[in-house]
Amino acid sequence: MGARVYDYAALGEPLEQPFVRRDLISVQDFSPEEIRSLFELTNIIKNRPADFRGALAGKQLVLFFEKASLRTHLTFEAGMASLGGTSFFMDQTRARLHEREPLRDIAHNVERWVDAVVLRTYEHQTIVEMAQHACIPVINALSDLEHPCQAFADFFTLQEKFGDLRQVRMAYFGDGNNVAHSLMLAAASLGSSLTLATPAGYAPNPEITAAALAIAATTGARLELTEDPWAAVSGADAIYTDVWTSMGQEDEAIERAAIFAPYQVNEALKSKAAPHAVFMHCLPAHREQEVTTGVIDSPCSVVFDQAENRMHVQKAILLLLLGSGVRRFPSRSNHA
Q: Using an 8 Å Cβ cutoff, are 304 and 71 in contact?
A: no
pLDDT for res 335:
52
Residue predicted with more confidence, 331 or 250: 250
Architecture of domain 8-146+309-322: 3-Layer(aba) Sandwich (3.40)
**Percent of the chain topping pLDDT 90:** 86
| pTM, full prediction | 0.91
Q: How many whole angstroms separate alpha carbon 142 and alpha carbon 26?
A: 10
The string of pLDDT tens digits covering residues 202-246 is 999 999 999 999 999 999 999 999 999 999 999 999 999 999 998
Give the fold, CATH level 3, of 149-307.
Rossmann fold (3.40.50)
Q: Is 120 a catalytic residue?
A: yes
The question of whether 242 is a catalytic residue gets the answer: yes
Among candidate residues 28, 71, 115, 150, the one labeled active-site is: 150
3-class DSSP state of 265: strand
Residue type, 313: V
Tell me the C-alpha distance between 21 and 26, whole Å. Answer: 15
pLDDT digits (tens, 9 = 90+) for 4-58: 333 433 433 333 333 356 999 999 999 999 999 999 999 999 999 999 999 999 9
Residue 193 reports pLDDT greater than 50: yes
From 4, 22, 71, 120, the catalytic residue: 120
> Could you report the per-residue pLDDT of 133-185, keeping only the tens digit for each?
999 999 999 999 999 999 999 999 999 999 999 999 999 999 999 999 999 99
Which residue among 310, 312, 314, 328 is the active-site one?
310
Whether 306 is catalytic is: no
Q: Quick check: bond before 284 cis, omega within 30?
A: yes
Catalytic residue among 124, 242, 312, 328: 242
List 282, 289, 314, 328, catalytic entry: 282
List Cα–Cα distances, 12 to 19, 79, 101, 114, in angstroms.
15, 17, 38, 19
Q: Is residue 147 flagged as an active site residue?
A: yes
Beta bridge partners of 280: 240
Range 273-298 average pLDDT: 98
Q: Is 282 a catalytic residue?
A: yes
Delimiting residues of CATH 3.40.50.1370 domain(s) in the chain:
8-146+309-322, 149-307
DSSP string of 92-149, one letter each residue: -SSS-TTSSS-HHHHHHHHTTT-SEEEEE-S-HHHHHHHHHH-SS-EEES--SS--HH
Query: How many angstroms separate the CA atoms of 140 and 111, rounded?
Result: 16
